[in-house]
Amino acid sequence: MSEVTASTSSYIWTLQDVLGQGATASVFKARNKRTGELVAVKVFNAVSYNRPYEVQMREFEMLRKLSHSNIVKLYAVEELLSKQKVLVMEYCSGGNLLSLLEEPENAFGLPEKEFFTLLQCVVQGMNHLRENGVVHRDIKPGNIMRQVGDDGKSVYKLTDFGAARELEDDEKFISIYGTEEYLHPDMYERAVLRKPHQKTYGVSVDLWSIGVTFYHAATGSLPFTPYGGPRKNKTTMYKITAEKPMGAIAGIQKTEDGPIEWSYHLPHSCQLSQGLKLHLVPVLAGILEADQDRCWGFDQFFTATTDILQREPVHVFSLQQAVVHSVYIHHYSTVSVFFEDVMSQTGIGVEQQHLLYLGHDLLLEGNMKVANLPPTSPSQPLILLSYGTETNSSLPFREPETPPIPSRFDIMADYNFSKVIVGVVHQYLRTVQLMYRHRELLLQGYYSYMMKLQKECGEANYSISKIIIRLQSCLTLEHRLHTLCHSTSENSSSVDITQKLHSVREHLPIYAAGIQEFQNRLELLQIEQAKLAEILASDKSCQKMAVLLQKITTIHQHYRKDRLTGKLMYNDEQIHKFEKIHLSSHIKRVKSLFREDCMQRYKELLASTRTWSSLLLEMQTRLEDFSSFSVGLLADLEISEQCQNKDLDRILISLQSRNAGQQPLTTPRDKDQMVSRMHHLKEEMEILVRELQCNNSVIERWGALNSAVSLDPSLTRPSTLRKV
């Protein structure tokens, strides 16, 4: 082997292209000599050959046995000229999970979509191991590779099976493998603290390592951290893991010899939604259990994680609460179950929930399937209106914690601080971007709410017009009936109708004036909302934060070079100190921008939306009251018309009977009077029929006009569904 390159019969690589190094082997990026295809080669060193032969052969045998898209493929086993074994494996362009978590933008954990992909890949890979009776024994972020496809999507793959062995669910082993931060406490006690005991270990040790790995990926930090770090305070590290209360998923010691602070939830700073946390935390609590008898088995783990992976997020923005929710639910669940899940996350009762999508009512039947809901995303969620008195009293955003800047000149301390602060400012920028998205959703949501009420005001005006027309028709008919009854000496059965109709006619102008007032107020609110949207659109805080992040990143890169240089010359040291002053200034500007610009504007918007919400809820309640009143009134008018029609029919029957001679007429004069009266009544009846036909035509035209006005041509109405 030369100093620069190495090769086997089919592959070649340079010694500088190191992908990873371990105690027994190094991994390099290599190429196929014939095709140029990229591969990863694992070259075993002399230490590896001191192990028993069966241990040396174990990794080859395991990889030959396994074949799955979430396990790194073994292509071939070759040899160097020195007869050293070389494993030729699949090359993963995205590095490993540990390197991904060390990137500053992931200092507080992976984004939710990426974490969900990781969860899916690791669960599927582990399921394949269990189906083949294999325990990995060294699960950690460094042993999870990331392949990036042409579409930019990640595929995670388990690798490094040097510690793996065949083991059924009920079997035990006594040998020690693994990385100490990810070791089960029983194994940690023996391997790290060197305390002998008679305990044996089963397949559940992989579950503990998976739990630590998932927590690390979700938060950017290890779950169990003693003061000074796991490697410097091993005794306390064991104490935290071994004495962890049931249900706790993290424990941290913040001061020397201080108390351990237990956590039963994922931190607010991680990027996972409350909806995903709701399902993930019980899994972490079940597998991060020191007592092997109480720890979940793989069957329970696979059941719980498969249930999570089969769920899909429905994005919901609770308008009055100003909070985004991701409701993870099975596509085959009913809408009734979805409403219940929304209630559990928001506290808004099912009867108080009203959904909007793309500015339109989304009315759903409870027995529909969730698969029929429209597609949602964080930027285009369902807008949830509450018909209760909800408030947006609590802010969904928290300012990231910033460590103090080192006061003394120290190359290593300054480098470590700059690395941390780049991650923190990434979190600041991400928080500001979320704030911007919330602002857009608030403005869009309240605009849709106002348009909804404006449409309902139009429908109320139409109802009033319809009532007025029918009311006038009833009053006219009632007047004619009284005249006919008086002329024919008949009695009317609707004695109180006239008084009731006149009472209704007196109240209608009050309702009409109230609705007109609502329309005027809505126009003023829309003007206020448009002005506020224009002001917020000119806000450049997000761009300013991104520029500050770039400046801080540049200083961090400068400090990385200083760290590699070691001892600095005088001029370089002065430049280093000046950069530290600039770094401190940039950090202050970041905090000022967040607190005095972004957060202040957001609070002002929330204050405005509280006022809007109160006014709109009042309008909503009044319009619902009027809607109930108008429905009842139209029903009363219908009954009145039926009574009037009965009276009219009775009078006609009476007249026909008289005309047929059932009541004898004594004199020619009486006969002439009766004929004249009959002609007059016939004319009255023809007038009534024409008026009723005219009224019906007017009502139909009003309905068509109202429908045309309520349509917004700039929006496409989704399929009309109805909620029960």
501 in Cβ contact with 474 (< 8 Å): yes
3-class SS of residue 680: helix
Distance of alpha carbon 723 from alpha carbon 721, whole angstroms: 7
Q: Dihedral of the CA atoms 61, 65, 71, 72 (nearest 10)?
A: 50
DSSP output for 341-389: HHHHHH---GGGEEEEETTEEE---TTSBGGGSPP-BTTBPEEEEESS-
Distance of alpha carbon 646 from alpha carbon 627, whole angstroms: 29
Where is 591: in which H helix or E strand?
Answer: helix 570-592
| C-alpha distance across the termini of the chain, in Å | 76
Catalytic residue among 17, 138, 293, 307: 138
DSSP output for 460-505: HHHHHHHHHHHHHHHHHHHHHHHHHHHHHTPPPS-SSHHHHHHHHH
Query: Of 340, 271, 335, 332, nearest to 307 (Cα)?
Result: 332
C-beta atoms surrounding 472 within 10 Å: 14
Active site residue 138: yes
Tokens of 130: 């269990």
C-beta atoms surrounding 121 within 10 Å: 24
313 in Cβ contact with 273 (< 8 Å): yes
At what angle are helices 411-488 and 541-565 packed, to 10 degrees? 160
Helix and strand numbers (H, E) in the chain are 15, 18
Beta-bridged to residue 323, according to DSSP, are 318
The CA distances from residue 716 to 462, 474, 709, 711, in Å, are: 23, 40, 15, 10
Residue with tokens 């070791």: 183
491 in Cβ contact with 485 (< 8 Å): yes
Tokens of 647: 């009276």
3-class SS of residue 319: coil
SS3 sequence of 625-638: HHHHHHHHHHHHHH
Where is 252: in which H helix or E strand?
Answer: strand 250-253
167 in Cβ contact with 173 (< 8 Å): yes
Helices (H), 660-719: 668-710
3-class SS of residue 144: strand
Pairing type for strands 311-318 and 382-386 reads parallel
Which positions are catalytic? Answer: 138
